[in-house]
Amino acid sequence: MSASGYSFENPFRPGAGHMPPYLAGRTEELDDFRKALRQKTILENVILTGLRGVGKTVLLETFKPIARQAGWLWVGQDLSEAASLTEQNLSERMMADLAVVTSGLLLRTEKQLQVGFGGREVEASHPLGYDDLRSIFDKTPGLVSDKLKAVLLSVWEALSPGNTPGIVFAYDEAQNLADHAGKGQFPLSLMLDVFQSIQRMGVPYMLVLTGLPTLFPKLVEARTYTERMFHVLFLTQLNDRDSRDAITRPIEGENCPIAFKEKTVERIQKTAGGYPYFIQFICREYFDTWLNQHRSGQEMSVSSADILRKLDTDFFAGRWSRATDRQRELMEVIASLPNCDSEFTVQEVADLSKTLLDKPFSRSHVSQMLVSLSQAGLVYKNRYGKYLFAVPLLSSFIKRQMQEQRSMLPV
């Protein structure tokens, strides 16, 4: 770094879970979360959902200090697929997470601590650690759900009354939770049943789950009562004002050597389509290129086409290359629908394929392929049985690909 004030670091942070330099918008969601924290009896749990890169993880991170400031304890993790394999795994995951908090608290001692089942006593002259929780779990007779419930109830009994309004159980990537009927394992239903049951008993443990748009339909499918158990916050693109803030605020500081011209801000806004990840990505590229040019005394200019190409390679190309030729053909048909950026139906795709392709897709073929594209994380089916692209701005990428192909065809 030279001594001439160029040590200003690129503030933009494209990357899963990286806190942005300025968290734009999301005020409604923050208000809703604050409201949820005011519940004495938990009637409403929270789901934070939306496409990849829309800002779920960083918003969940932002919820944490708010909850703590209101006195709540915060427990949680990413839910890996392994954690959701069996009921036992999920229970262990939750106990391990809970132990992080309870082992740091001075809880009521041995004599006062009663386990829910049979009033047995547990040694807890020290703070409740994982082994203590585990021993309650192991000693409780019955199903895994009885055991987990006993652990959760014991912890609540051990917390001094009036000390905390409750515990938030925050789980990111919760779309990984699933029941596995074939294996007789129902970890997803276990979590829902246990929380519903202890919440009915008046224990203020609140679930805050984050995940892709497949999450909520998945919960409802497992247990219909979840429809009423969760308040769903669907994160979408930032509006114009908020995306402008996300672009400009981070470089407003006095020691920032460069500023974006109005035309640049507009161009970034348009290309990013309000999607936070794309804003961070594009801004970071602009900033780096300009800073280099600035340092070497060059005229500042950036080719948007170059940045777009880099975005395509970094973000889209991997997903695209994993699709088969026929899947790509189908996605090209979808990207040609006027409603490709909102929901579309099997019928619409089949109809359009008749006019666009020599070998069109039948309805049932479209249905089948949409299922495999869902499994690949490229589309998803919403609660009303319609489909949507599961990757933000995928349609523009596909159109760029199609254009490139066309320009490469011999004339």
Q: Give residues in contact with Mg ion (CB under 5 A).
A: 56-57
Choose the one of ligand ADP, Mg ion, none that binds residue 54, judging by a C-beta under 5 to 8 angstroms depending on kind. ligand ADP
10 Å CB burial of residue 260 (0-12, 13-18, 19+) is middle
The interface partner of residue 277, options being Mg ion, ligand ADP, none and the CB cut-off 5 to 8 Å by kind, is ligand ADP
Residue 20 near ligand ADP by CB under 6 A: yes
How far from the centroid of its chain's Cα atoms is residue 157's Cα? 32
In angstroms, the CA 41 to CA 79 distance is: 26
Q: Which residues, in sequence order, are CB contacts of 73 under 8 Å at separation 6+? A: 101, 164, 166, 167, 168
Q: Does 236 bind ligand ADP (CB under 6 A)?
A: no
Which of Mg ion, ligand ADP, none does 231 bind, CB closer than 5 to 8 A by kind?
Answer: none
Looking at the DSSP bridge assignments, the partners of residue 174 are none
**Smallest distance, Å, CB 173 to ligand ADP?**
8
State the DSSP code for 180. Answer: B
CB of 56 to Mg ion, least distance (A): 5
Interface characters, 205-234, with ligand ADP (x: CB under 6 A): ------------------------------
Check residue 140 for interaction with ligand ADP (CB under 6 A).
no
Residue selected from 36, 45, 46, 56 as contacting ligand ADP according to rule CB under 6 A: 56
Query: Strand, coil or helix: what is 276?
Result: helix
- Distance in Å, CB of 59 to Mg ion, minimum: 9
CB of 338 to ligand ADP, least distance (A): 27
**What tokens were used for 306?**
């170059």
Counting other chains too, the contacts that 309-312 makes at CB distance below 8 Å and 24 or more residues apart are: 310/285, 311/278, 311/281, 311/282, 312/397, 312/400
314: which DSSP letter? Answer: I
Minimum CB distance to Mg ion, residue 17 (Å): 6
Strands of 167-172's sheet in order across: 73-78, 167-172, 205-211, 45-49, 230-234
Pick what 201 binds: Mg ion, ligand ADP, none; C-beta below 5 to 8 Å, kind-dependent. Answer: none
Cα separation, 154 vs 119, whole angstroms: 10
**Binding to ligand ADP, residues 250-279 (CB under 6 A):** 276-277, 279
* Site track 279-298 with ligand ADP (rule: CB under 6 A), x = hit: xx------------------
The site partner of 379 among Mg ion, ligand ADP, none (C-beta below 5 to 8 Å per kind) is: none
Tell me which amino acid residue 59 is: L
- Which spans of this chain sit near ligand ADP (rule: CB under 6 A)? 13-18, 20, 23-26, 50, 52-58, 246, 276-277, 279-280
